[in-house]
Chains A and B, each alone.
Chain A
Amino acid sequence: MKIFIKFDFTQFCSTILDEKLDELNIKYRMLNFGEIEFLEPVPPDKLKAFDAILDTYGIEKIENQKVILVQKIKDTLIDMVFNTNDAINVKSSVYLSDKLGHSYGYLSNLFSEVTYTSIENFIILQRIEYAKSLITNTGLSLTEIAFRLQYSSVAHLSTQFKNTTGITPTAFQRIIAKRRELKNNKD
């Protein structure tokens, strides 16, 4: 038998970080996901031990300021796509610069420089990913998914889905279903 699980990566990481930092007796404050503020200077040997621990969990310390800002942009955008229902009323550019306190032009350039993709593409990718998770994890119809993701029509969703992934939502649905069937047959 096989079961499918979903886990909250954020919560998982936070728990590990909390645990390890306490273990090393470092005073800290968790600001946002992926951002930790040390409340007092940390000796280099402790810092090294912390890096080593993080490495065993596959967590990497980001030191570049640009990368940190990009990560913030991503978090904001992901939050916008997945969690807010009203954000689409405001243009994503306005939303971003309001939240992060930088001009959109600056953010956009920075983003492309670090990720090799544009903010617009990133948003589309995230929306399509959201659509994918809705297709695989819920019984919602494409029409309902298009409505929930605020696409003007199913056709629009299908087209963007096809443009982003190269396959149609129906084919995607079919492939995922067949994969599960194949897995179940193997077990």
Chain B
Amino acid sequence: MQEDYTYVVLADDDEDDRLFFVEAFEELKIQTRVDIYKDGVALMDALNVPDSVLPNILFLDLNMPKKSGLECLIEIKSNNRFKDIAIAIYSTSASEEDIENTFVQGANIYIKKPSDFKILKKILSDVVTINWQYHTNGLDKDNFLLRL
């Protein structure tokens, strides 16, 4: 940990979801920096800037225009520079097969967007905590799979 906060990034085309996401982190006591992108292309452009600060956790909505979450995931996983980013899929819903496929493609976390703000806060806090633990306790990141 170079910094004392967790840097999270969300790519989601839905305005309301972006709002919930930012508000949830605002209300959480954890020290975080949150960046938001409106679609996959914007996200990848930002990540691909050389020497850019990389997020600790990247939240990806699956269903985005131009570049879907899964495309972003595959792209990120094929670039060694991004190997330390924990990837959380943040989606409305998907079939069991789709969920498993995102894990196989390298996602660490699958989050089904909840319909209760309190639950959202709990989930995001859990994600940050567990990621923190993986980071600080030298746990095998290849085994980092979490579904919430």
Chain A in direct contact with chain B (Cβ < 8 angstroms): yes
Q: Does B138 lie within 8 Å of A176, measured CB to CB?
A: no
Q: Which residues of A contact B106 (CB under 8 A)?
A: 179
Known A-B contacts: A116-B129, A176-B142, A179-B103. Give 5 more (CB < 8 A).
Answer: A136-B142, A165-B146, A166-B110, A175-B104, A182-B105
Q: Name which residue of chain B comes closest to A4, CB basis.
A: B142
Q: How far is the CA of A165 from the CA of B107 in the complex (A)?
A: 13
Report how many A-B pairs have Cβ atoms within 8 Å. 56
Query: Which interface class (under 10, 10 to 19, 20 to 34, 35 or more) fits B?
Result: 20 to 34
Chain B nearest CB from A114 CB (Å) reads 10
Interface status of A25 (Cβ within 8 A of chain B): no
Q: Name which residue of chain A comes closest to B100, CB basis.
A: A175
Q: Does A78 lie within 8 Å of B137, measured CB to CB?
A: yes
Knowing A9-B138, A129-B143 are in contact, say whether A174-B100 is a contact too (CB < 8 A): yes
A-B contact pairs, 12 of them (CB 8 A): A116-B125, A116-B128, A125-B133, A132-B143, A133-B140, A133-B143, A136-B143, A165-B147, A167-B103, A175-B100, A176-B142, A179-B106
Query: Which interface class (under 10, 10 to 19, 20 to 34, 35 or more) fits A?
Result: 20 to 34
Q: Which residues of B contact A133 (CB under 8 A)?
A: 140, 143
Q: Using a CB–CB distance below 8 Å, which chain B residues touch chain A? A: 1-2, 30, 100, 103-106, 110, 125, 128-130, 132-133, 136-140, 142-143, 145-148
Q: Which residues of B contact A179 (CB under 8 A)?
A: 103-104, 106, 142
Interface status of A144 (Cβ within 8 A of chain B): no
Q: Does A74 lie within 8 Å of B137, measured CB to CB?
A: yes
Interface centre among A78, A171, A174 (most CB of B within 10 A): A171
Taken residue by residue from 101 to 145, chain A's Cβ proximity to chain B (1 for < 8 Å, 0 otherwise) reads as 000000000000001110000100110010011001000000000
